[in-house]
Amino acid sequence: MRSEPVVQLTSVVKRYGSKTAVDGLDLEAAAGITAVLGPNGAGKTTTIETCEGYRKPDAGTVRVLGLDPVGQAAELRPRIGVMLQSGGVYSGARADEMLRHVAKLHAHPLDVDALIERLGLGSCGRTTYRRLSGGQQQRLALALAVVGRPELVFLDEPTAGLDPQARRATWDLVRELRADGVSVILTTHHMDEAEQLADDVAIIDAGRVIAQGSPEQLCKGGAENTLRFSGRPGLDIASLLKALPMDTQAAELTPGSYRVTGTVDPQLLATVTTWCAQHGVMPDRISVERHTLEDVFLELTGKELRG
Amino acid sequence: MSTGTYSPKPGAAPMGRMITAQALFETKMLLRNGEQLLLTVVIPSLLLVLFSSVDIIDTGSGKSVDFLAPGILALAVMSTAFTGQAISTGFERRYGVLKRLGTSPLPRWALMTAKTLSVLVIEVLQIALLTAIAFALGWSPQGNPFAVVLLLILGTAAFSGLGLLMAGTLKAEATLAAANLVFLLLLVGGGVIVPLDKFPDAAQNVLGLLPISALSDGLRDVLQHGAGMPWGNLAILAVWAVLGLGAAARFFRWE
């Protein structure tokens, strides 16, 4: 059974003066984690801010948890959590004070002390917001988004500028949210973030969704995947091809160095190793080059993601 | 944290609790800010003590504290409702605090209500302190306390409108500079410590229409001269309040 979409945008248009930031965008996000992926200037933030009620679309309809974010803001606001890209905190407030204050605006907030502990904000002590490190400010922004126990959380570039360890800690928290039934919409321009976290990925370019699906689905289409291995030179390629599925190709690139291209899945790997075993070949240095989201993106847009 | 910690359980706190929490938090932030305290507490107190005890300005017949105390009370209202509120709100806008609170359960009208409550709390503290200092300097106020309260409230409304208009339309740095400059100009030209009759007649007519002059003159009429309701000054403040709050409501940008 497919549940109601948490976010539904239909033919949404948003212009700033003569610049069209969002250009007839359709997007449906189901419960779970949805990543909105795209290069800088693709319209990610505008799309998210339309869902949050900050921007009124020039055309099209937006529904978040079934509500209009502008017209039914009072009803929607308590049910969502928002992490802004930066700022949002009184410059003279300490991290714990700000978190406690926002908790007071909610009926059933999380335990603030436990959240501070969980996000490693305890060490901030008496430091005011403006003197926190970038990573600490980022973690506080995340805490502010979840403290009210929302059903749906919007995270705008949640790990931008974080070191690898802090990124992983943020990913862990996002996964915990999902496990506890909180839906997450996040924007990112990190492919690995989308691949690691998302159930569903929407690729945005020039204000439109140009592809959507699970990371696996997106990676299956387009360019082929590759499996390479080394063995004794002069293996019988024709025999190998007979064992492989129809659409697969195989070649000996240099003596003893083989390449198989096609749909690389566990079955294909097993077929290749089984064939090698039957022919008394010890395949060395087996490597699999799977098609990544990065490749998909490059094919769809002709652009590098960051640039 | 164990499984289920984050299970959704959304809901806004009751409106009264949200507004109280917001007002207390904003008051705490203002009282912690050194520059704000300089403006709202230190400068009015120093001016009151200095000009009451040293005969620098000719304040007419009678004790100088009787002339100065009403003007300093007007200055205190301006420093908090206008200058302080413009600067703090301008930076809250700049730092995305207003944006952040825009997706919290606290509605915008409730945020503005909380800001007003916070301004009133600070004013009560200022007036208590300045009144105590004035009494120590031999102040003998007269008149109708109800007229004084009405003047202070209308003055607060007029200055809040202008402060929020500035905070909601200009850049935070421009607001900081302009709010301080206006504070200084109105301190000198608004009948706070310098009687308006020291200025040329033509200038007096214009200066008399400023909200600070209407407030200081009205307070002085009541507290120094025991006048009844200063209707003229109340009317000037009411017009500023309507214009300022109306323009702020129309032009205020939250981001």
What pLDDT shows up at residue A224? 65
Mutate to test the interface with A, among B3, B6, B19 (most CBs of A within 10 A): B6
pLDDT at B159 over 90: yes
The CB-side HSE value for B6 (13 A sphere, CA atoms) comes to 26
pLDDT at A43 over 60: yes
On whether the CB atoms of residues B108 and B100 are closer than 8 A, the answer is no
Per the listing, tokens 């025999």 go with: A239
Mutate to test the interface with B, among A91, A111, A151, A155 (most CBs of B within 10 A): A91
What are the structural domains, with CATH classification, of chain A? 7-220 (3.40.50.300), 225-290 (3.30.70.1560)
Cβ-based neighbours of A70, under 8 Å, separated by 6 or more: A53, A56, A62
Does residue B3 form part of some domain? no
A222: confidence class by pLDDT, cuts 50, 70, 90: low
User: In whole numbers, what is the pLDDT of chain B averaged over residues?
Assistant: 92
- Nearest residue in B to A148, CA atom: B10
Does residue B1 form part of some domain? no
The verdict on B12 touching A (C-beta cutoff 8 Å) is: yes
Please count the other Cβ atoms lying within 10 Å of the Cβ belonging to residue A176: 18
Does residue B109 form part of some domain? yes
Mutate to test the interface with B, among A106, A152, A156 (most CBs of B within 10 A): A106
Convert the pLDDT of each residue in A63-96 to its tens digit.
999 999 999 999 999 999 999 888 899 988 999 9
What pLDDT shows up at residue A103? 97
How many domains, chain B?
1
When pLDDT is averaged across residues A271-296 and rounded to a whole number, the result is 85
Residue numbers of the domain that contains B83: 15-52+60-251
CB contact under 8 A, B97 and A104: no
- Nearest residue in A to B34, CA atom: A92
Does residue B9 form part of some domain? no
Q: What is the DSSP pairing of strand A183-188 with strand A208-213? A: unpaired
Convert the pLDDT of each residue in B100-157 to its tens digit.
999 999 998 999 999 999 999 999 999 999 999 999 999 999 999 999 999 999 999 9
- Nearest residue in A to B15, CA atom: A105
Q: Residue A86 gets which letter from DSSP? A: S
Q: What's the length of chain B?
A: 255
The 3-class SS string of A159-194 reads: CCCCCHHHHHHHHHHHHHHHHCCCEEEEEECCHHHH
The verdict on B31 touching A (C-beta cutoff 8 Å) is: no
Contacts of B9 in chain A (CB under 8 A): 107-108, 149
Q: Residue A224 gets which letter from DSSP? A: P
pLDDT at A302 over 90: no
Please count the other Cβ atoms lying within 10 Å of the Cβ belonging to residue A120: 13
When pLDDT is averaged across residues B82-86 and rounded to a whole number, the result is 96
A148: nearest CB among B10, B97, B99: B10
SS3 state of residue A288: strand
User: In whole numbers, what is the pLDDT of chain A averaged over residues?
Assistant: 89
- Nearest residue in A to B26, CA atom: A90
Closest CA to A244 of A219, A262, A226, A258: A262
Convert the pLDDT of each residue in A182-196 to its tens digit.
999 999 888 889 888
Does residue B219 form part of some domain? yes
Helix, strand, coil fractions of chain B, as percent rounded to 5: 75, 0, 25
pLDDT at B217 over 80: yes
Does residue B22 form part of some domain? yes
Does residue B193 form part of some domain? yes
Q: What is the DSSP pairing of strand A33-37 with strand A200-205? A: parallel
CB contact under 8 A, B6 and A118: no
What pLDDT shows up at residue A265? 81
What pLDDT shows up at residue B211? 96
The continuous run of DSSP H or E covering A15 comes out as strand A7-16
CB contact under 8 A, A181 and B255: no
Please tell me the pTM assigned to this model. 0.84
Closest CA to B125 of B157, B77, B90: B77
What pLDDT shows up at residue A1? 41
Does residue B133 form part of some domain? yes
